[in-house]
Amino acid sequence: MKKDIHPKYYTNAKITCACGNVLMVGSTQEDIKVDLCSKCHPFYTGKQKIVDSARRVEKFTERQAKKSTAVKSKRVKKAANRAKKTEKTKQ
């Protein structure tokens, strides 16, 4: 094995999860921060948890809200146009 080419190995590296769980393992990095661990991951807990670091869920719901209001406004406009046409034909 060549000397001075391998990274330093920490036998007690600290892994910290977003839920507060702390694990001690061996790694080439001294401190590691993660979003999910075995105590909070949905596969192990059986509870649904949405991890949205890029706001994708919020953006999706905003787009859906805009689409639903746009569809409603089109329906309202069509109904108004129909009402105007029926009034013109009655006169």
Model pTM score = 0.48
Domain locations along the chain: 1-51, 53-91
CATH number of 1-51: 4.10.80.400
Average pLDDT over residues 14-38: 92
Residue 28 pLDDT: 94
Average pLDDT over residues 28-52: 84
Residue 55 pLDDT: 81
The CB density around residue 34, as the number of other CB atoms within 10 Å, is 13
Residues 58-85 have pLDDT tens digits of: 888 888 888 777 666 777 778 888 888 8
Please, are residues 23 and 10 in contact by the beta-carbon 8 Å criterion? no
